[in-house]
Amino acid sequence: MCGIFCAIGQNNDVSCHLHSALEELLHNRGPDVQDKLIVDNVLLAGNVLWQQGAAPQKQPLVENDLVLLFNGDLYNLDEKKLKSEADSAWLIKELNKCNMNEDEQLLALLQQLEGPYCLILYNRREKALYFCRDALGRNSLIIERHPNNCLKLMSTSCPVLEHMATAALELPPLGLYKLRLAQLNECCLYPWQPLNEQMQQQLSTLQTAMEWSMRLGQTIAPSWLLDKLLQVSSFDLYALAAGDIPLELLHERLLGNEAVQQALSKLDELLQRSVAARVLHTAPVCRLCGDSGSGRCSHAKICILFSGGIDCSILAVLADKYVPPSEPIELINVAFERVAGAADQSWSVPDRQTSLQSLLELQRLCPQRSWQLLQVNVSREQLQQQLAAHIRQLIYPLQTVLDESLGCAFWFAAAAADSTARVALLGSGADELFGGYSRHRNAWRRAGPSAASRELALRQELEMDWQRIPARNLARDDRIIADCGKTARAPFIEEHLAQFVRSLAPQQRCCYALPEGVGDKLLLRLYGHRLGLRDATLLKKRAIQFGSRIADKRQQATQISEYLRFDSLQPNGVQ
């Protein structure tokens, strides 16, 4: 994980655009090694959190005419290369082999990459800047337009009065963007895939904000998008679950179906591979031992943001298979004060209760593992202080009440005082893929009695949620968690896994004829049961903002948060 920054201008000094407050935020993301470079009035700065290779790799990397900033993880590289060098070092070598006079070889290289990443590449010979986020938009890259024709790209921003942007937004993960220094008002986009209506709307918003004239180049078409998907035997969870079946027998009956088992076996293969990659590809020392130089460390390197629900419980069981037996795994649970200063304050919020319940299951299934449940308790005073002074900058440029609640919950969890982990596993994506939100059930219910109309309505709702997950969740969560010196990794949002689950019909993923906590995400609950989980497979979905008691149910999630407004900044950046 890295904090990367690029400022590009035509006739102004770009060095002034990396101010001290922003430098501090970027350093939080990459505390191990830092460097910066100015070339052709382009400022590039990199801050690295060591996760791959035998030693930390400084950025930016320079090879001949190319200068690279890279933030992310590539999971489909040769295992030996991953152990010996950082993926950024591998990538700059591969980029240097490309004929950069033409873009086809660069596009062919990007076509093969798998994993969460964003990159900024400057070609000194051509005086051209390339930048992108991966096709699933898992890592943050903010783009800002400033006065005097200055453009900034950065992992996280820090709006202060002296350096306020004219326009700022999360870069839409639509493909590879290309700008030439001499023509900063003209941009070429090589899209990952043909642009649908929602993507075209995102591109139009970007074009207007940056005052660009846009041109579309050839489609990149990442190789995983062309996966030959496993054709599972047909099955319908509604038909299989029909009849008066006691809940305690339902899972056993469904698991007895051969087609269901075939789908679960493929899910197991893909999810285990995803978890393994995200657990094993990290530095051999924890955050505390990184500077000791001893190379020996028995502290936790992996944590799981843990509500006790089915998603994170499954990740915990799978992580146990790949984390060395002698190392603990942290389970981080956060609870917020319900009433400020209440004399009889209790931290027994719903997520705390389910985390304790599911911890017992993990101890039963994996008794040799040291499970460290870190209970983070946050007072209303602490919440307001950190939100006003710091967290609001990480959430920027987003502004809603929902962004505020989720951003704060994740930040306090990732900032747990006793945590030594470098990697935080998240259950993000499971609800979008398997049908875990109440709006999915409502779409099915509103569509009428016809099975075909219900399937169509639900498929459309699931697809809409999947398409907008980068803008709703991923970049914000990356900024929040990385600020605490951790890399956020979401095993459910993996290329081949997502392709497989999305190839299944809605009635093969969920069954809303069954009650909440049973029919939603039913295929995933069956997988949890197959792993040995019992209580966790029957827990109702609860959003973290409600399970941790941070949110006020009287507020609308989409309304603008007063804490996140930056239209009346004082010179020091605080309202």
Average pLDDT of the chain? Answer: 90
In this prediction, residue 301 carries a pLDDT of 96
In this prediction, residue 382 carries a pLDDT of 95
Sheet of strand 33-39: strand arrangement: 33-39, 42-48, 2-8, 150-154, 142-146, 167-170
Cis? peptide before 324, omega within 30° of 0: no
In this prediction, residue 454 carries a pLDDT of 93
* Cβ contact 399:471 at 8 Å: no
Taking only the tens place, the pLDDT of each residue in 13-44 is 666 678 889 999 999 998 889 999 999 989 99
For residues 413 and 330, give the distance between their C-alpha atoms in angstroms, rounded to a whole number: 11
Least confident among 338-352, 419-433, 451-465:
338-352
Active-site residues, by number, are: 2
What would the mean pLDDT of 368-392 be, rounded to a whole number? Answer: 95
Q: 117-123 and 66-72 as β-strands: parallel, antiparallel, unpaired? A: antiparallel
Residue 162, exposed/middle/buried by CB under 10 A (0-12, 13-18, 19+)? Answer: exposed
**pLDDT band per the 50, 70, 90 thresholds, residue 573:** very low
Long-range contact set of residues 15-20: C-beta below 8 Å, sequence gap at least 24: 15/43, 17/43, 17/146, 17/150, 17/152, 17/163, 18/43, 18/45, 19/158, 19/160, 19/162, 19/163
What is the separation, in whole angstroms, between the first and last Cα of the chain? 31
Q: Tell me the β-bridge partners of 176.
A: 190
- Is 89 strand, coil or helix? helix
Strand extents, DSSP E, 306-433? 329-336, 371-378, 423-425
| Identity of residue 509 | R
Beta-carbon contacts of 444 under 8 Å, excluding residues fewer than 6 positions away, are: 454, 457, 458, 506, 512
Beta-carbon contacts of 353 under 8 Å, excluding residues fewer than 6 positions away, are: 308
For residues 49 and 32, give the distance between their C-alpha atoms in angstroms, rounded to a whole number: 5
Residue 573: C-alpha distances to residues 156, 158, 249, 387 (Å): 15, 8, 58, 13
Least confident among 153-162, 379-388, 524-533:
153-162
* Number of residues in the chain: 575
**pLDDT band per the 50, 70, 90 thresholds, residue 92:** very high
Say yes or no to pLDDT of 108 above 90: yes
Taking only the tens place, the pLDDT of each residue in 447-466 is 988 889 999 999 999 999 99
* Cβ contact 563:388 at 8 Å: yes
Q: Which two tokens stand for residue 56?
A: 């930390």
Residue keyed to tokens 């497979």: 537
Residue 476's nearest CA partner among 160, 26, 139, 5 is 139
Taking only the tens place, the pLDDT of each residue in 147-194 is 878 899 999 998 876 667 889 999 999 999 999 999 999 999 999 999
* Cβ contact 124:181 at 8 Å: no
Residue 465's nearest CA partner among 447, 425, 438 is 438
What would the mean pLDDT of 477-499 be, rounded to a whole number? Answer: 95
Say yes or no to pLDDT of 572 above 50: no
Cis? peptide before 397, omega within 30° of 0: yes
